Homo-oligomer: A and B are copies of this chain.
Amino acid sequence: MKQLKLSNQLCFPVYALSRLVTSHYQPFLGELDLTYPQYLVMLLLWEHRTMTVKALGQALMLDSGTLTPLLKRLEAKKLIKRTRSTEDERVVNIQLTTAGTALKEQAAGIPQQMQQSLGLSQEEVRGLKNLIEPILHRHDKED
């Protein structure tokens, strides 16, 4: 049954690559005392300054079951503040603290260093993005 050989599955390379990439972030993120998903949240906040939990969840395809405890940990590190919106008390706004904003400087070199660490060529990066992003967008509405 050829189809059930691991080497014939697409799923496995994608899964393995994801973990490989994440593991290469570790040395760099460790210096900032961030995990990889925490770094993704910080990337969004550095870009937008303030976001709701829902907006973070949509951008990262994560639900509150993952985000709530993660955000509480970022708050405990004093990188963000969580405040319930006054116009709509269901909503929680996430905003950067001064320390959270400052961390951006320390993170500036990471994307560059990562590409080196993974040994990827420009073509590979572009090729992967060009293949993957259309697939993700095709499935955007699913969340």
In the complex, the count of this chain's copies comes to 2
Known: A14-B21, A138-B119. A9 touches B108 (CB 8 A): no
B11 touches A61 (CB 8 A): no
Question: Interface extent on A, as a size class?
Answer: 35 or more
**Digit string of A112-143 for contact with B (CB within 8 Å is 1, else 0)?**
10110011100011011101110110110000
B136 touches A46 (CB 8 A): no
Interface of A is mostly: helix
**Digit string of A1-27 for contact with B (CB within 8 Å is 1, else 0)?**
101111011111111111111100100
Bound complex: CA A62 to CA B61 (Å): 25
- Does A44 count as interface, using CB distance less than 8 angstroms? yes
Bound complex: CA A40 to CA B136 (Å): 23
Nearest residue, chain B, Cβ from A133: B13
Q: 10 closest A-B pairs (Cβ-Cβ)?
A: A18-B18, A13-B132, A3-B111, A6-B43, A17-B132, A14-B18, A10-B125, A11-B21, A127-B131, A15-B18
